[in-house]
Each structure stands twice: as C-alpha cells, then as structure tokens.
Structure 1
C-alpha cells in the first residue's frame, strides 16, 4: 500500500511541477534564495541603482559649459556608479547561474530520478494484485517488465497515475472554461 501511494504522490508532484513550469519555480526560489542568503548583495545593488540614477539626473540638469568642474565630478561619479553596478549585476548573475544548476539538478532528482529509482528498485515487486481473470490473457502485460503475472507493476502504475491525473486536469480545465465563459444574451428580434 505504501508503494502505491508513494508512486502516486511522485507522479502528482511531477505533474504539478510540469503544470507550474520549472522556470516559474526557479524564478520564485531563486529570488527567495537571493533575499535569504545574499541580502547584502541585493541591498548593494538597490543602493547603487538609486544613487547612480539620482546622480545621473543631477548630471543631466547641470550645464557642462557653465559648471564644468561640477559636471566633470558628477560624470566621473556616474561612470563609477555604473561600473560598480555592472560588477554587482555580474556577481548576482553568477549566483543565479549557480543556483539554476543546483535547482534544476534537484528538481530532476526529485521528479524523474526518483521515479526511475523506485521503478528500478521495485521492478520485481507487485504494487497490488488484480482479481483472477479480470483482464484475461492481457493480465501478463500489466506486470511488465518483471512483476509477477496477475499484478500491476511499478511502471504500469506510474503510467496509469499519470494518465488519470492528466484526464482530471483536462476535466477541471473544461469545467473552469465552461463556468468562466460568458453566456450568450438572447436578443429580441424586431417585428416588421
């Protein structure tokens, strides 16, 4: 019974991840990771952006001909600010790349890798047995590749769970669309 539920939950989690999209999950968890573990870097980026853009606004408001010394000082400050901001952005991009590699590896392991491992580990085990004669001569197929005849194998159970979840998803989407769709308003025809 535990194998039956474990396989179903693994398939359900992988389908939920598929529906949500790994890019959406990666973006969410990456921003959370940056805020939790690299908050100083994010704060520095925010501070550099605000100071550099405010200095650039002052630079744009200053006349280069009338106040050259002030304009040159602001120009150097803006250039230095953009250089520091570019360095900080490259550090953040590096952290995001490292996180992306680790996140995608963990996501693959939690979904596909675990399904392969459980299918391999329990390849000769029956998830559950069918009553005698339910599927006649096709009973052997449900035990493929190595489960005993008359039983459901891990691979077949994974396929069945995935199919049921996909069918339920379509049903819910169709119901949602039918509820959300505006009903046509009857029109009165003019009498001639």
Structure 2
C-alpha cells in the first residue's frame, strides 16, 4: 500500500495538473480518444462528420449555380442540401447529447478521485500524525499550528502536509515555467479560460451551423 504521504502528494499533483491544463481541455482530449474507440457513439460521430462534409459540398455547389439561369439544377441541389442538413442536425444533436453526458460523468469521476478523495482523507486521518518533529525543534505555538486541527501536538497533520505539498508543487511549477521562458524566449502555454466545467461549446456549435 502506498504511503499516505505519497497519496496526498499525488492528489495535489493531479489537482495542479488539472488546474494548469484546464478541465475543458482534458475533457475534449478524452472525448476525442473516446470517439476513436469502436463504440456506438464513435459511429455516430463519424456519421455526423461525413454528413457535415456532404452539407458543405452541396452548399458550395449550390452557391456556384444560378437559380435564374439553371433553376432545375439549383432546385435539385437545394433539395439535396436541405435533406443532408436535416440529417446532419439530427445526428449532430445526438452526438452532442452523448458528449454532454460524457463530460458530466468525467467531471463527477474527476471530483470524486481528486478533491473528494482529498477531503475524505483529511477527515478520516485528521487525528493521525504524518510524521513527528524533533522534540523542542520549534516553539509550542508552532507545534500547535503544525498539528492543526486534531493531530497530536509535535506532529505534522494531514491538513498541513496537504498545504505544504500544494505550495511545493506550485513553486516547482513556477520554477519550471521560468526555466522554459528563459530557454525558449517564449511565453508559457496557458489553459483556455472556462466558464462551466464540462459544458459543451454552444457558441461554437451555433457558429458552425451558421456556416453550413
């Protein structure tokens, strides 16, 4: 069984990576991987992409034909375009519904395995010392702070160890970022801002449909 010290450190490292990369970015990457697997959802996603390409092709052909000069061909292309667009919207709606459920499940699993696990460990092991300080090494009031909230005095509590891990990971991350900037002369990559974790990109979908 891994040491509790390492478990707490690993949870803080996972939380730091998620916050740095961005939950939405991770969701999108996992969704792409999921749609590559042989599942019914991947089949629907591939069908939606195929219909999208067909709609775009018909739209271009429709724009290239004059309704006045060649009405019969224009009307035929129009019917084909409207039919393909209707099928695409239906297929795309189904895929986006699955995507929303997928993101919601990911968000729940991610919280349970990171923040939820962290809070559970802090509650369950609140009285357990992570390790002991040498006797008389720090003043009494510092011993009390380091054992907060319920660990034995003279020890390091899981809450304080958790804070120490988070601070150390943040410092190392900032140091690595500074080294990266100095070596490459480029700004460090940053995660995309997100309003609601796991929410589908509605504006992108609407603009995409407008283009079709």
* TM-score grouping bracket, smaller chain normalisation: 0.7 to 0.9
Q: Spell out, residue by residue over 1:68-87, the C-alpha distance to the aligned partner (whole angstroms, 9 max, x if none).
A: 33322221111111111111
Separation in structure 2 between the aligned mates of residue 31 and residue 177 of structure 1, nearest angstrom: 30
The answer to whether residue 44 in structure 2 is matched with residue 41 in structure 1 is yes
Q: Spell out, residue by residue over 1:161-180, the C-alpha distance to the aligned partner (whole angstroms, 9 max, x if none).
A: 11111111112222222233
Separation in structure 2 between the aligned mates of residue 177 and residue 66 of structure 1, nearest angstrom: 60
Q: Which of 1 and 2 has higher RCO (CA within 8 Å, sep 6+)? A: 2
How far off its partner does 1:51 sit?
2.1
Partner of 1:87: 90
3-state DSSP of counterpart to 1:159: helix
Partner of 1:169: 173
Which one has a bigger Cα radius of gyration?
1
Compared CA separation, residues 181 and 35, structure 1 to 2 (3 A): closer
Q: Spell out, residue by residue over 1:128-170, the C-alpha distance to the aligned partner (whole angstroms, 9 max, x if none).
A: 1111011121212211111111111100000011111111111
3-state DSSP of counterpart to 1:134: coil
How far off its partner does 1:62 sit?
3.1
5+ residue gaps, structure 2: 187-212
Partner of 2:149: 145
Q: Note the 1:24-173 alignment, pairs <5 A.
A: 24-36=25-37, 37=39, 38-137=41-140, 138-173=142-177
TM-score (normalised: structure 1): 0.87
5+ residue gaps, structure 1: 183-192
Separation in structure 1 between the aligned mates of residue 95 and residue 54 of structure 2, nearest angstrom: 19
Partner of 1:8: 9
Separation in structure 2 between the aligned mates of residue 58 and residue 173 of structure 1, nearest angstrom: 50
Separation in structure 2 between the aligned mates of residue 174 and residue 78 of structure 1, nearest angstrom: 53
Separation in structure 1 between the aligned mates of residue 53 and residue 143 of structure 2, nearest angstrom: 69
TM-score (normalised: structure 2): 0.79
Partner of 1:22: 23
Aligned length: 182
2:45 and 2:92 in contact (8 A); partners too:
no
Separation in structure 2 between the aligned mates of residue 57 and residue 176 of structure 1, nearest angstrom: 45
Q: Which range moves more in the overlay, 152-161 or 86-95?
A: 86-95
